[in-house]
Structure 1
Amino acid sequence: MWYSYQVGKAPGYLRDENGDIQYESYVGADGEVYFYTDDEGKKIPKESGEMEVLYSNPVKFWGTITSQLKNAVMRAWGSDSTNNYATLILAKHAKDSDGNELSLPFGARIWLHSEIKMKPNGSPDENSADYQVSGIMNEALNETSYYLQVLQQSEEKT
């Protein structure tokens, strides 16, 4: 599995039907399109007026995800539906593939089966993730449980 968490925000840009960024421009008297540039000669993108969430580079980790939640477990999370939720179980002080202690924050994205897609700005596309951390239960002695919201249904790969 892979995880990524929010690291900041950046201005969002208007995009065309292919997903390419649109740039500030004008049509000259000769009918040609000219682009506005900054001091370094780079084209200036058209901002959408919205901020885009940036995510960290995905890091590999190991844990157990189950979508077979029992009613008692669901009640502990305050939910009465098992359709769109799963549980991730990690050992206390578990480490990721970089050797860092694993502590997933609220909103972290997890890829189990889906391909990690990247945005044009180099940030992982959070919409390509399989799960989002929606709750954390760390009272147990030897493990931490994470309540995961299913973002997309994917077929299990073998």
Structure 2
Amino acid sequence: MELVVFYSFAALVFFSAIFILFTKNVIYAAFTLLLTFVGIAGIYVFLMADVVAVTQVMVYVGGILILLIFGVMFTNKLQNGKILTSHQYPLIAGLLGVGVFVLLISLIFKTDFQSLAWIQEITHQTHKNNHPASTIEPIGLQLMTHQVLALEVVGVLLLLALVGTALIAGRKV
């Protein structure tokens, strides 16, 4: 059953990415990107990378994709028509895509995943506890103990960027 769900997520990512590649309507591509991001988050869950899956949904789906859709829809409203893409160099893009795909597949087959220490640790914890180990607790403990200063500095920098953006936007309005 798990294999069927995993391959369903993989098929969702593959076919939605292919649709994005071949559609000329930017709005359809932006909305289909949602399916791609959700499918990738589902694959991360199956890889026992729950933090990455939650980050994928929160950052990419909740932030970047919504911003992209608003930008496309706002631009579409200004031009009073559809925004279409053009495929200027399909042969070069296709060859580049196939080259990257072949490179990634060759790297996957050359990598010995069983020798990686973190995979052995997760596999050992899974067999010991009869359920997959969560990565959220160790990352949370690390952030709140050893990395708390860096976390606070990043928070202050983001706050300063938000205040600066509000000041710049206030002057132009």
**TM tier, smaller:** under 0.3
Greater fraction of residues in strand: 1
Greater fraction of residues in helix: 2
